Every structure is written in C-alpha cells, then in structure tokens.
A and B are shown apart, each in its own frame.
Chain A
Amino acid sequence: MIVQTAPATTRTAPPPAPVYKPRRRKPSLYRTLSRVLIMLIVIVQVYPLAWLFLTSLRTEQDFATGDPFALPGSLTWENYARAFETGDLGRNILNSFIVTMGANLLIVLFGMMAAYAIQVLGFRLSRFVRGLFLVGIIVPVQIALVPLFIDYSTVNLLDTYQSMIIPLAGFALPMSIYLFSSFFEYIPRETYEAASLDGAGPYRIFGLITLPLSLNTVVTVVLVNSIFIWNDFIFANTFVLSEELKTIPLGLQNYIGAMGKVDWTATFAAVCVTITPLLLVFLVLNKAMIQGLESGATKG
C-alpha cells in the first residue's frame, strides 16, 4: 500500500530510508549530543500525553495533592466510570464518526471528480478553475463562519450534521483535488487511449480505470483529512447547539462544570477515551499517514 502511493509523491518523497554506510568518521561527541537532544525533544513531545493517560488512572486525592510527576499511588478505573456518567461519550464518538465519514465521502468523491474533469477530460477554463480551487488553501476558515451561520439559519440547516460536513468538506476539497490531479498525471495516456478505442466513454473510464487505480491516493486523502475533521472544533462549536449532535470536541467541554469547576481526573479519562480511536488508527497506519502528510504538504 505504501509503496503504491509513490506516484503521488515521487517528486519530493525520499527514496525509502537510505542505508547509511559509515562513510566518514564523525566526532562521537557530536553524535552523542545530537542523540541526547533528540531524546529530550521526543520526551517533551510524548511525556505530556503519557501523563494524560496516567492521570486518568489516578485517584482524585492523589491528583489534588501529589507531585504531578510521581507515578500514581494506586490505579483506579473510577474516573472512567464517572466520565461515562457525566457525558454522553458514546453519542459524541458516534457523531464524530458520522461527520468524519460524511465529509470524507464528499472530499474523496468530489475531489476525484473535479481532478478528473480538470486533469483528464480537460476544458478551456481548466486553469482558471484550478486557480479558483487554490484560493481555498490559503484562505482561513474563519471567513466562512458568519456567512454560513446566516445562510444556515435562512435554509434551516443550523444544528444538523450537514452544517458541519459542508464547510469541512469544502475547505478540504482543494488539497484533495490537488493530490488526485498529481496522481492522475501519472496514469499513462495510452491506458485511456486503449480504453477509448474499445468504446468506453468518460463515465466508464472513470469507474473502471481511474477510480480503481486511485485507491492508494484515496487512503492518503482520507487519513490526512480524518485527523482534522475528527478534531474539528470551530465549525461544530458555531453551528451545533443540541446535545444529540455534539461531536467529541464539544462533548468534552461538558466536563467543565459551572464556575469553571472541573473534575479533572474524570475529564482526563474522557479525553483518553476520545483520543484513543484516532491514536490507534494512527499508530497502526502511521507509515501511510506520515507519507500522506508529507505528500499533502510538500505539494502546497
């Protein structure tokens, strides 16, 4: 799967980790120093997350009084029980899942269609349309909040799944189109010509050639976008009001009680529950995801 993604990334992606032959002797001091530095920086990146998980297993008293770096005196699952009592985590996760799937479906399908029209079919204004889509990469999402809020209230879309899915998909579309177009460039003309000679029209070619060949790019696009959509806060916070539609980021806010009083250990338990699905996906698929992020970014 990973090797296959290559066509979309070849221009910038490295050849798979070059084997370092010890071709020159480096001062060992430099080497040791750089190792220590890397370890330190990795600890700074990872320790807070480990601490988050540890804290979710602490007792409340332990958290309130103890040294924050100390290992918990005793482990408890109580926080998780309280976390599930306080909020509707299951529903939040389900909602996030629905929004992520819906937006991804649009991003992939529409991204592929637009890229097909621009790159494969071609038309007179294709450059202009491509430029139009590029605008969406630079423009910050905040510009859409007020207009969409007004538009949604006119057409009764406020407080629906669609109200989140539409802007999430819209703003992710340009990058998706870009990735698909770069990939389509690598499908040889001859493939299309042969299919055309056999009498296949543009629709059949899309369904029988372009779509199946692009599966790896689809994986890349879905993985990269899922991170951002799963974690989206700003659109959900602006357009969603009712408890039943709240996604994870909104659900987590329910843990801040009145007067800003927070049951921290239960909150951390809830945080752990909600970040685990994406974390697992990331750890399992990290190679594909890293490749995707690299290719997505270096294209901008």
Chain B
Amino acid sequence: MRGAAKAPRTERPTMLPNRSRTSVLVFLIPPLLLYCAAVLFPILQSLFLSFFSWNGISDMEFVGLANYVRMLTADDIFWHSFFNALLYLAICLVLQLGGALVVASLLTSLRRGRELIKTLYLLPAVISTVAIAFLFVRIYSIDPVGLLNQLLHWVGLGSLERAWLSDVNTVLAAVSAPEGWRFTGLYMLIIYAALIAVPKELEEAAVLDGASKWTLFTKIRFPYIRPVWITTTIMATTYGLRGFDIPYLMTNGGPGQSSELLTTYMYKTAFTSTDFGYASTISVFIVIECLVAVGLILFMLKRKADS
C-alpha cells in the first residue's frame, strides 16, 4: 500500500521511448494550474494573511506575530474551541473506528448477507450533511418528543430526557455523534476488506494451537491489518479535525460557545466578523494541527509495530 507507486519507477523514468519535453508539459500544466489555484496558492495566501490585520475593505495592516500571540495567549474562545474540537474528534474516532472494527469483525463470522449489510451500513454516508442535521435535530428534540427521548422513556431512563441540543453539557456530544454515525460504514468497509485478506492458514494454525477468539484477534488479525488501520486512523483523524457542517448547521456553535469547534470559530471570524487576518491565523493552526496529528499517529503506531 504505502510507497507502492514509488517502488518500480526509479530505474525506468519513462514508459514511452519517444516523448518530448513539451508533451510532459502539455499533460502536466493544466492539472497543476488548477491544483495551485485551488489548493497550494490559498495555503500560502493564508499563511501570508495571518500576519496582517484586515477586514476586507480598509487597507491591510502588517501586524507581525500579533495574531498568533492573541490566539495563543489572549483568546479564551480559541482554546475552548480547541478542546471542544479534540472531544469532537475523540467521539468521532470511537464511533467510526471502534464501531467499524466491531462490525467488520462480526461480519467476517457471518455466512450470508454480508453484501446487504455492507450496503445498508454505508447508507448514511450518501446523505448530505444538511439532511443529516435536520434529521438529528428531530431525533434530539423534546417537543414534540424525538426518537432519542422516546427511546429513553421506554427503557425506563425517563429521567435522562432532555433537550439535547440546548443543554450545555450534552450539546457537544450530540453534534459529534451524527458525524460518527455518518462515516462509520466507510471505515467498516475498509477494515472489513483488510480482515478478510488475512490468510486463512494463519488463523487456522492459531485455532489448532487453541487460541481464543480474543488472542486470535490481538495476535493474528490485528497485526496483519495494522497498515490499513494506520491509514484509516489517519483518514478519520484528519476528517474529524476538519469537521464543520454538522455542528455549524445544528447549533452554530451554541448555546454560547459550548459546541464551537476551531473550524466553526474560524468560519465565523472570517465571514461574520470579517476579520480575515485572524481567521487565517486560526486556519493555519488547523493545518498545523492536522500535520501534527498525522505525524503522531505514524509515530505511535509505527513504534508499536516495531516493539
């Protein structure tokens, strides 16, 4: 998986004996232009803007590191959103990766209906975030009573009934769950594909040696799917850190700031307060956060594999 594309290419730079330099440019320039315009150039621009104070109308004013200092030392909302984002990420990861691993493992023990279950499980991934936000607003609602509260009532946990989205203690979890729910099917597919690729001989040998289901999983299956696990963890983490739509649509960060994430805070700073400079500083932070997260995951999971 990793580096697969790099390996064989080094000795053979080209597959075509007679190709010209122009032909390379003809094929490369248009995609590169689009990519630069949409991705690379905006990244540099954000970095640049993060050193300025600018509301989009008046003249730009160079402020050096002032935005960064303000963000890191003087902005409580920033830190609040940062910790909210971490909690949001944690909930998404548990639901997505944990759920995916459990379902994928269970699915391998099933004899029939696997394809059907895969399809059904993936259904939420096809639905737009706006539709999901509407749906979950109703699920959490108290008047008229929504699905969740009704369910709690039935199982005798009526005391837990509440307006989940207005309660500052539950709102963050309430806006995180739909994101986890939405994509768990996607990660399940990937992990399932890896699990059924584990050589049957390995598993059978372990079973003959009297390994329990748990040992089989921890000693044989999981080490075997580790590379895929790393990939899915990275995907889920970077997607979790850029989560925006559902919290923005369901609560817009509220009540107060209790479900504010870095992304929603950045968005409001940019397009409600039109503080483009400071918003860029926050988005630079989000990028760094993603890079650090990816680095950490690689570091931790690689090291575990070596030990």
Q: Interface of A with B (CB < 8 Å)? A: 11-15, 17-18, 20, 23-24, 26, 30-31, 34-35, 37-38, 41-42, 44-46, 48-49, 51-52, 55, 63-69, 106, 110-111, 113-114, 116-124, 126-127, 129-130, 132-133, 135-136, 138-151, 166-167, 169-171, 173-174, 177-178, 181-182, 185, 189, 192-193, 196, 201-203, 205-206, 227, 230-231, 233-234, 238, 248-249, 252-253, 264, 267-268, 271, 274-275, 278-279, 282-283, 286-287, 290, 293-294, 297-300
Tell me which residues from 1 to 55 in chain B have a Cβ below 8 Å from any Cβ of chain A: 1, 4-6, 8-9, 12-21, 23-24, 26-28, 30-32, 34-35, 37-43, 45-46, 49
Rounded to whole angstroms, the CA-CA distance of A148 and B124 in the bound complex is 30
Out of A12, A119, A182, A290, which one reaches B197, CB within 8 Å?
Answer: A12
Are A173 and B31 closer than 8 Å at their CB atoms? yes
Query: What would 14 A/B residue contacts be, using CB atoms closer than 8 Å?
Result: A23-B204, A52-B135, A116-B27, A123-B24, A142-B244, A144-B43, A147-B42, A167-B38, A231-B129, A233-B130, A248-B128, A290-B122, A293-B190, A297-B187
With A34-B106, A135-B39, A253-B130: A143-B287 Cβ-Cβ less than 8 Å: yes
Q: Is B150 an interface residue (CB 8 A)?
A: yes
**A170:B189 contact, CB within 8 angstroms:** no
Instruction: Provide the B98-135 mask, 1 if CB < 8 A to any CB of A, else 0.
Output: 01001100110111001101111111111111110011
A45 pairs with B181, CB closer than 8 A: yes
Q: What's the nearest-Cβ distance from chain A to residue B147, in Å?
A: 5
**B residues near A139, Cβ cutoff 8 Å:** 39, 43, 287, 290
Select one of B14, B139, B194, B291 contacting A121, CB under 8 A.
Answer: B14
Q: Which residues of chain B are near A299, meaning CB under 8 Å? A: 1, 4
Contact, CB under 8 Å: B17 / A45? no
Instruction: Identify the B interface with A (CB < 8 A).
Output: 1, 4-6, 8-9, 12-21, 23-24, 26-28, 30-32, 34-35, 37-43, 45-46, 49, 56, 99, 102-103, 106-107, 109-111, 114-115, 117-131, 134-135, 138-139, 144-147, 150, 181, 184-187, 189-190, 193-194, 196-197, 200, 204, 207, 213, 228, 231-232, 234-235, 238, 241-242, 244-245, 249, 263, 266-267, 270-271, 276, 279-280, 283-284, 286-287, 290-291, 294
Contact indicator B134/A146 (Cβ below 8 Å):
no
Contact assessment for B121 and A42 in the assembled complex, using a CB-CB cutoff below 8 Å: yes
A138 x B117 contact (CB < 8 A) = no
CB atoms of B31 and A49 under 8 A apart: no
Contact A49 B286 (CB under 8 A): no
Are B119 and A63 in contact, with the CB atoms below 8 A? no
Q: Knowing A45-B121, A121-B19 are in contact, say whether A146-B204 is a contact too (CB < 8 A).
A: no
Closest A residue to B230 by CB, please name it.
A300
How many A-B pairs have beta carbons closer than 8 Å: the answer is 323
Q: Of A129, A174, A283, which is within 8 A of B28 by CB?
A: A129
How far does the alpha carbon of A119 sit from the alpha carbon of B185 in the complex, in Å? 32
- B1 contacts A298, C-beta separation under 8 Å: yes
Complex Cα gap A91–B96 (Å): 35
Q: Do B193 and A146 touch (CB < 8 A)? A: no
List residues of chain B with CB within 8 A of the CB of A275. 126-128, 131
Q: Whole-angstrom distance between the alpha carbons of A263 and B210 in the complex?
A: 61
Residue of A nearest to B208 (CB): A24
A186 to chain B, nearest CB (A): 11
Verify B18–A196 contact, CB threshold 8 A. Answer: yes
Among B13, B129, B131, B234, chain A packs the most CB atoms within 10 A around the CB of B131
A69 and B150 contacting across the interface, CB-CB below 8 Å = yes
* Cα–Cα distance between A179 and B37 once the two chains are bound (Å): 22
Residues of the B chain whose Cβ atoms lie less than 8 Å from the Cβ of A12: 1, 193-194, 197, 228
Residues of B within 8 A of A65 (CB): 144
B9 CB, min distance to chain A CBs, angstroms = 7
Min CB–CB distance A130 → chain B (angstroms): 8
By beta carbon, the residue of chain A nearest B113 is A38
Report whether B127 and A205 are in contact in the complex, using a CB–CB cutoff of 8 Å: no
